[in-house]
A = this chain, B = another copy of it.
């Protein structure tokens, strides 16, 4: 999906919500464990309940890999389900990969050819040739980690060089030589919303994938205030607050309500900005 179509979807659904499918077998309602593939069953119900309010789904690969072959099977079925029922959804593999060139090329093949994702999250530590193999696919996206939402972000990402440029700023600046805003997005944690203003000076045009609203404590209105641009430029992720809104038989209904609530707030923010 290209940038134009992504913005069209955002205007149509009046939402910039990404639902993180961090589906944890230990957290889903217990009565689902009797089904043949509880993870897929749970995902299906969550997707059906939330798709009307959602621009993107973001399966977190760790949660599938940890179940071995069965987990990869659940992921494959989830991806097919979304692709068939909701073809206009933007599909992100939250994989945080990145390796030497020939290996990154293999990962690109995995996510863009074997699984037909639109985008994959990539760690920047290994530099240009670990990222560029993902950029050879038209209308596919790299979502590069810039400033993450976790506490450990302070260990290295704020390191400052002799010109007082921080590591995450350097990642934002240098990676623009590898691809423009039609193929690259950046991860910027909602818990670091105060940094968004400065980040928008470095990457005014790019979409930002913003985790950390909800369970991790970030504020949606602050993210929008500092991060929204004239093509929205934001995909804000929520995982746990939607997936586990209820652990009872009404889990899907409650997930839908939680997504609708976020979407309603997003609609106001888009409207205030004059984008819808």
Contact = CB atoms under 8 A, between A and B. Distances in A.
Interface of A: 22, 24, 60, 62-63, 65-69, 72-73, 76, 94, 96-104, 106-107, 109-110, 113-115, 123-131, 145, 148-157, 159-162, 167, 170-171, 174, 211, 216
A233 B38 CA distance: 45
Given A155-B174, A170-B159, A127 B150 contact: yes
A189 to B, nearest CB: 9
Nearest to A240: B102
Most buried by B among A24, A125, A150, A156: A125
A68 B62 contact: no
Contacts of A124: 125, 155-156
A168 to B, nearest CB: 9
A167 B160 contact: no
A106 B65 contact: yes
A99 B121 CA distance: 11
Given A152-B130, A159-B159, A62 B97 contact: yes
A96 B110 contact: no
A5 to B, nearest CB: 27
A76 B157 CA distance: 35
Contacts of A129: 150-152
Contacts of A145: 125-126
Contacts of A107: 62, 65-66
Nearest to A24: B106
16 contacts: A62-B106, A63-B103, A65-B110, A66-B106, A68-B114, A69-B73, A96-B97, A96-B98, A123-B123, A126-B153, A128-B151, A128-B152, A131-B152, A156-B171, A159-B167, A162-B162
